[in-house]
Structure 1
Amino acid sequence: MTLSRILAAGVALAALSHGAANAQQAPAVDLKAAEARAAATVKQMTAEEKVILTHGPMPLPFFPGTVMPKEAIPGAGYIAGVPRLGVPALTETDASLGVAWVGGLRKDGATALPSGLAQAASWNPQLLYQGGAMIGSEARAKGFNVLLAGGVNLMRDPRNGRTFEYLAEDPLLSGMLVGAAIRGVQSNHIISTIKHFALNGQETGRKYVDIKINEGAARESDLLAFQIGIEQGQPGSVMCAYNRVHGDQACASDWLLNKVLKQSWGWKGFVMSDWGAVPGLDAAIKGLDQQSGEQLDKGVFFADQLKAKAAADPAWSARLDDMNKRVLTAIYAAGLDKNPAKPGGAIDFAKNAQVAEETAKQGIVLLKNREGLLPLAKTAKSIAVIGGYADSGVVAGSGSSLVHDEKGPAATRSLGGDGPFAALMQQSYHRSAPLKAIKALAPQATVTFRDGRYIADAVEKAKQAEVAIVFATEWRTEGLDQPDLSLPDGQDALIAAVAAANPNTIVVLETGGPVAMPWLDKAGAVVEAWYPGARGGEAIASVLFGDTNPGGRLPVTFPASVNQLPRPKLDGSDWVEPNFSGDPEPGKDKLVADYDVEGSDVGYRWFARNGAKPLFPFGYGLSYTTFSRNALKVAGLSASFTLTNTGKVAGDDVGQVYLVSRPDGAKQRLVGFQRVSLAPGASQKVTVKIDPRLLADWKDGGWTMPAGEYGFALGANAQDLGPVVKVKMAARSWKD
């Protein structure tokens, strides 16, 4: 499907798509008019002007010799404009989880949304739209008009250091959610990216790890997540990735950028590089349109070198015109020139904090609740709160996505070092203390705190209290992968000891991805709070005391151990020295990640294929009420079902429809979902449309569905499935 067709059908797509029936829409875009206007502007540009929009620096004083352009705002990037033609400069900020803090250089702050996984655990596109709109409004008020948002890489390995930034392991869930977030961002007349294109699954050796995967498997998984996200969100820009794919750098991959993105999908926007990801001038011919953070590369390739090539070669001249046309199309489609973003705009931080808090509440997942230990009574007499810096705040993921308010972090824990990214590479906490929030909701209780450094001290306090709440943190950052799935700093031993001392032990996990739980049988209750953002403490307390009934569902599988993974040993972890830039070491630049092992069967699909039982399956989550799910009917590419709250309190459930078999055998894929809020005893019928690509294989340059019987099941999660409904479908083949 071409982007023009996508835009023409945009409202219909969102209205009919899986769980997005109520998702808001960004303003309608006349892409043809924007593209025609862009072509006209290119004709007016001089040779010198044609290499203005194709490159720019990272306007941050992290590198010797960096000169801040006069018009730039401290942030991720700056691309100069062409004032003579009314073309505005591009002022860029990292913004997956909020306007990035960049070490506090701007002396301002922003509202931190919960992590990508926390957002995805809501299974609620409308919520992600609201979060994107909030971030976009704050960015605009600070003078930014391009947001480096839209992280949609699938979780192929739970140890990936950037898992917290991304959304899920499933292409449908990821694509629908990221599309909604992008629509929200771009509703502010600013450009959003979608990133990192593509197959960017680990930080170990991230600039040179070579991804091995056949085209069909890629199209049915990681690329499909991007394709759905682009269809739903219509981002103005795609950011390419650091890694290699089939031997080529992703930012110089003719297959990814030209053949798939621009030709097969018909996308009209521009491809910007990741920072320091451009191998050379030839990347332009391979499909890259803009060199970002140019001082991080080995040279500024898209300025004088590009100009000289265009002057000498008609093919390069045509390519340069196309590069400018694509950037201008995005500028005009988003209305950057007619609606300029200016620094100093008003921001309603109190209102925006409510968006962050609601996102955290909807994304918290209740994993275990023995004998109804939760919710806690507000009349509890004594509560021991232990560990996790719970007296200070909630943990945040680090790297380029780190966000803080104007006061900065509540607490920090440095990794040491004095390199240019040392300020980004530290464990830090948002100013939202769970301890304070717990005290506010249980004012009559005696609430004590121990930091957990000494297990004996924590155990003694746990014995003295009616309830013990252990906060456990697992910090992640861009630039580093986790070595395994354990909790760091001896926290597993701490939890086990406290749970042995007090059977009413509740574990609150603030993690950047799946973790192992060797103490699970001993714990009374387990709450997955992820990185819960600017109001995380309040959101956690609200769930613990029942003001919020947890409705989050896991967007990723929690494996029982790394031995269940397609690659039990993380590729390259035995020799790659962790570092933020990930530059290859001499003689050690050959590293292959073989994704053909699992192919398109990522996450729960891999577990289904192997008949393995994870610690917690994809889509899993408990509630303080109970639900029934029944009456699944499938007719053509439409599925309907009924959800009923069979309990005594209001709550949210997520209906999940899975393909379980095709004519050629068993095959599990999520094909539809909807989050529904239900009063006690209430029922709601839900209808979702099934994208035929989820039933098909990619073969010989197109999608193919074999004729025969297809099986579908309605589930509470990927492993708890109801009766199979079988439907006969005709053979079908089509192109994108």
Structure 2
Amino acid sequence: MNPFPTLASCSRKLRWAALACCALAAIDCAGADARWMNARLSPDERARLLERELTLDERIELVHSPMALDLGPFKRPPGTPITAGYVAGIPRLGIPALAESDASLGVVNPLGQRPGDSATALPSGQALASTWNPALAREAGLAIGQEAHAKGFNVLLAGGANLARDPRGGRNFEYLSEDPWLTGVMAGASIAGIQSAHIVSTVKHFALNDYETSRNTFNAVIAEAPLRESDLLAFQLAIERGQPGSVMCSYNLVNGVHGCHSEYLLGTALKGDWGYKGWVMSDWGAVKSVDAALVLDHQSGQQLDKQVWFDAPLREAVASGTIPKERLSDMVRRILRSMFANGLFDHPAGNEPIDAAAHGTVARRVAAEGIVLLRNKDKLLPLTPGLKRIAVIGGNAALGVLSGGGSSQVTPAGPSHIVSMGGNTEIDVLTRRQIWFGPGPLDAIRVRTGKSEVVFDDGRYPSAAAELARNADVAIVFGTQWNGENEDTPDTTLPHGQDTLIAAVTAANPRTVVVLETGNAVSTPWLEQSAAVLEAWYPGQHGADAIADVLFGQVNPSGRLPVTFHASLDQLPRPRLPGFGLPPDSSYNVDFPEGSDVGYRWFAKTGAKPVFPFGHGLSYTTFAVSDLKVEGGKTLTVSFAVKNTGDRAGADVPQVYLRSAAGKAQTRLIGFDKVELAPGEQKRVSVVADPRLLASFDTAAHGWRVAGGEYRVSVSDDASDAGLEGGAKVAAQLLKP
């Protein structure tokens, strides 16, 4: 369904100044005085010229918006299209409406409220991060942006850049990784791809939205320096690289202040230190009072708040001087500036063809490149011809591949199967749904096996599954873990007794491949009994084919872990899930003793040994790194040769880690590359470290402090690998924040 059906007859080549016959039928751009329509002017100047033409009423209308959905007790305002959020346009000035859609895994049709509207369902954020391929991230972003633009949307609520600090986080599957550099690079590339389709993308949720349990009320407690060096750095990098038109602030409190009210986050860091020019929108229902307008630019999902704070209360606050008039003008200019910068005026959305086949190819490539080969004992994989009997077990493999739940849930064009999970509220019943994208891996495996017999067991009874596996040449057992918005997992086991099932199958047949479809790192108590393990994450609508491609060697796996796989919950900074067992929306502090030592850095600091380290991933070929050269100065330049020493084409992901800084030991990713190599081929790689990755944040000096001295680095296969080591001297310096 097109949110802008009246745009269907309009030519995209016409400027909005001349659209007298189009969607905004009442348009009157003041003739020759509409100087803001001059595309040769900067977005800042165009926004300044247009904003001063607005009345107070029009300014107020631009800074708040409803959720335009029918969701439980919340009803869509009359006359609005079905969107996650909708800001009406201003016809007399040629300002287009803002039609907002979720988001980074594909264009969402919430709960199917737009009948017949499907979209390409891409793999999860962690699957994308596992590719370690920024160019592919940009391609994926472009595909989503093109589909959104074609459907009439011009704002995507995409760009999840929160660090995965805890493997029980319910929304980690939407995010990317536990590392600021990997997250910032991949999120920035995805955002840039989306916005190249004349779409505004957000980056979200700013900041420390690490848990779904009591997400509106928990208070994240962390000092400024480690916050700057971890989550804020990830956002800063994503913003620098992607230039998102909007930032979405988070529900939770940070150091005692709600994210959407935080002068430190939105004022000091974002708009002050980083010079951010776009607008900050609230998450849906995250505004607590009109005072948020001192730093927040737009109230989203206004029905979910206690009051439409940015309507009558804001008008009264401006009249009384509590909120300065110039602040309201700044709010509006920021919105208009991003609309101009991303072509929303000059390239109106709607009524365009969608190349679903091309976008499906991108989705399948992300799925395949994102699959991580964790274990491959005795080179069982890839599976070879001549197998007489293959047992496929569990994981709804006959049905489809799993996807994550919540506002990122995409409705694919192909078959899908919905399993309602119920809940305790009307909204829970509507939204807690497992969706499986068909066809299933079982069908994809059968297509590739030729004369091999493929038998299936659904895995309900471990003893029956074990018996089937015992009489097969190879067993492939699927393990799944559903994650969704609004809830975390209490632990990291596979639910419904799947660990017991996998243990039984691996005990019965030592030639067992375990395929995981999960939204997080999970426990692997059966690991040593298995022969091979694939982490496929939530692989999207072409996930079944991608899994089969890797199993049978049609794709050489090149995925690398974006998160650490722990051996036990006791290894985590918070062994018990914060808020577990408390009533919903309880208020409590979540302390972050790890500070900036998130994920693999925490393991390095504590000496704990993970099951699989950050960056880990195997291939069907082998690689060698040599001829390391490290040059110093204001930063580090690390160059080296990578060679494919095996007999199969493949892609390596050499990772550069800082191992000590001016004599202080540490482990920190400062660069990486993805290198495609034919057998025997060698290429030279050069990585220039962002100097902030060599620094610590000096709160007294309010900047990044690089200590002078010797810096040691390694080119490694993963965070735990000693790799090939070298070093150089770096000059002392203080960088702006």
Change (3 A) 1:266 1:497: same
In 2: Cα distance, 1:93 partner to 1:448 partner: 42
One of 590, 601, 608 as aligned partner of 1:612: 608
Q: Distance in 1 between matches of 2:39 and 2:105?
A: 29
Structure 1 residues 300-699: aligned runs within 5 Å:
300-313=308-321, 315-342=323-350, 344-406=351-413, 409-417=416-424, 419-577=426-584, 584=585, 588-589=586-587, 591-595=588-592, 597-636=593-632, 637-699=636-698
For 1:407 and 1:275, locate their aligned partners in 2 and report how far apart those are by CA, in whole Å.
Answer: 30
Aligned partners of 1:52 and 1:82 also within 8 Å? no
Instruction: Please give the secondary structure, in 2, of the residue aligned with 1:91.
Output: strand
Structure 1 range deviating more: 418-427 or 498-507: 418-427
1:74 to 77, 82, 93: 82
- Looking at structure 2, the residues matched to 485 and 78 of structure 1 have their Cα atoms a distance apart, in angstroms, of 38
SS of 1:133's equivalent in the other structure is: helix
- Equivalence for 1:708: 709
Equivalence for 1:154: 163
Dislocated runs of 4+, deviation >4 Å: 29-32
Query: What are the Cα deviations for residues 545-600 of structure 1, in whole angstroms up to 9, with x where unaligned?
Result: 000000000001111111000111121113144xxxxxx3xxx42x11111x1111
Per-residue CA deviations over 1:626-671 (Å, capped at 9, x if unaligned) read 1112222221231111111111111111010000001241011101
CA distance in 1, matches of 2:218, 2:134: 33
Contact 2:109 2:411 in 1 (8 A): yes
SS at match of 1:228: helix
Superposition deviation, residue 193 in structure 1: 0.2
Alignment partners' CA distance in 2, 1:130 and 1:274:
26
After superposition, the C-alpha distances for 1:119-166 in whole angstroms (9 at most, x for unaligned) are: 000000001000000001111111110000000100111110001110
Letter in 1 for 2:590: A
The AA in structure 2 aligned to 1:227 is: Q
Secondary structure of 1:311's aligned partner: helix
What do the CA deviations read for 1:17-46 (whole angstroms, capped 9, x no partner)?
xxxxxxxxxxxx999711111111111111
Match of 1:199 in 2: 208
- Go from structure 1 to structure 2 and tell me whether the alpha carbon gap of 1:32 and 1:168 turns closer, same or farther (over 3 Å shift): farther
Question: Which structure 2 residues correspond to residues 112-191 of structure 1 after superposition, within 5 A?
Answer: 112-191=121-200
Deviation at 1:406, TM superposition (A): 4.0
Give the secondary-structure state (helix, strand or coil) at the position aligned to 1:227: helix
The answer to whether the Cα contact below 8 Å between 1:132 and 1:183 also exists between their aligned partners in 2 is: yes
CA distance in structure 2 between the aligned counterparts of 1:491 and 1:256, rounded to whole angstroms: 42
| Structure with larger RCO (C-alpha < 8 A, sep 6+) | 1
> Percent same amino acid at aligned positions?
52
Taking the aligned partners of 1:236 and 1:383, their CA distance within structure 2 comes to 50
Code of the residue aligned with 1:594 in structure 2: it is D
CA distance in 2, matches of 1:314, 1:452: 63
Q: Quote the Cα distance in structure 1 between the aligned partners of 2:439 and 2:130.
A: 21
Q: Distance in 2 between matches of 1:143 and 1:418?
A: 32
TM-score (norm 1): 0.92
For 1:500 and 1:207, the matched residues in 2 are separated by 45
* Mapped pair 1:732 → 2:737: no
> In the TM superposition, what is the alpha-carbon distance from 1:724 to its structure 2 partner?
2.5
CA contact (8 A) 1:378 1:441 kept: no
- For residues 723 and 361 of structure 1, the distance between their equivalents in structure 2, rounded to whole angstroms, comes to 29
Partner of 1:294: 302
Equivalence for 1:718: 719
Counterpart AA for 1:684: K
Task: Report the secondary structure of 1:634's partner residue.
Answer: strand
Q: What residue identity is the alignment partner of 1:372?
A: K
> Which moves more between the two structures, 96-105 or 141-150?
96-105
| Distance in 2 separating the partners of 1:627 and 1:149 | 35
Q: Give 1:489 deviation, angstroms.
A: 0.5
Q: Mark the CA change 1:418 to 1:575 in structure 2 (over 3 Å): closer, same or farther.
A: closer
Say if 1:102 and 1:424, in contact at 8 Å, map to a contact too.
no
- Post-superposition offset of 1:312: 2.6
Question: Which deviates further from its counterpart, 615-624 or 633-642?
Answer: 633-642
Q: How many residues of Structure 1 are paired with residues of Structure 2 in the alignment?
A: 694
CA gap of 1:576–1:155, structure 2 versus 1, over 3 A, is farther
**1:67: how far off?**
3.7
Distance 1:606 1:31 in 2: 50
1:65 Cα deviation after fit: 5.9
Check whether the contact 1:174–1:225 (CA below 8 A) recurs between aligned residues.
Answer: yes
Go from structure 1 to structure 2 and tell me whether the alpha carbon gap of 1:480 and 1:406 turns closer, same or farther (over 3 Å shift).
same
Shift of 1:337: 1.3
Q: Matches of 1:411 and 1:565 in 2, distance apart? A: 34
Deviations 1:335-394 (A, max 9, x none): 10111112x432222221111000001000001111010000133221110001100100
8 Å contact from structure 2 (residues 415, 439) kept in 1: no
Q: Distance in 1 between matches of 2:690 and 2:722?
A: 20
CA RMSD, Structure 1 to Structure 2 (Å)? 1.5
Contact residue 414 and residue 437 of structure 2 kept, 8 A: no
Displacement, 1:415? 3.1
Task: Give how far 1:413 is off.
Answer: 4.2
Compute the displacement of 1:408 (Å): 6.1
CA drift of 1:101 comes to 2.9
CA contact (8 A) 2:420 2:429 kept: no
How far does residue 68 in structure 1 lie from its aligned partner after superposition?
A: 3.3
Three-state SS of the structure 2 residue aligned to 1:642 is strand
Which has the higher mean CA deviation after the structures are superposed, 221-230 or 623-632?
A: 623-632
Q: Does the Cα contact within 8 Å between 1:31 and 1:333 map onto a contact in 2?
A: no
> Shift of the alpha carbon at 1:316?
2.0
Give deviations 1:276-313, integer Å, cap 9, x for gaps.
1111100011x110000000001000012112221231
1:237-259 deviation per Cα after TM superposition (whole angstroms, max 9, x unaligned)? 00000110011100000000001
Which of 221, 227, 231 is residue 236 of structure 2 equivalent to? 227
- Counterpart of 2:594 in structure 1: which amino acid? E
CA distance in 1 between counterparts of 2:360 and 2:238 reads 26
Distance 1:485 1:417 in 2: 23
Query: CA offsets per residue over residues 664-708 of structure 1, 9 Å max, x none?
Result: 410111011000111111111001111000000111211111111
CA contact (8 A) 1:30 1:333 kept: no
Deviation at 1:461, TM superposition (A): 1.2
Structure 2 spans left out of the alignment, 5+ residues: 1-37
CA 652–509 in structure 1, closer or farther in 2 if over 3 Å, else same = same
- In structure 2, the residue matched to 1:15 is none
Conservation of the 8 A alpha-carbon contact between 1:640 and 1:685: yes
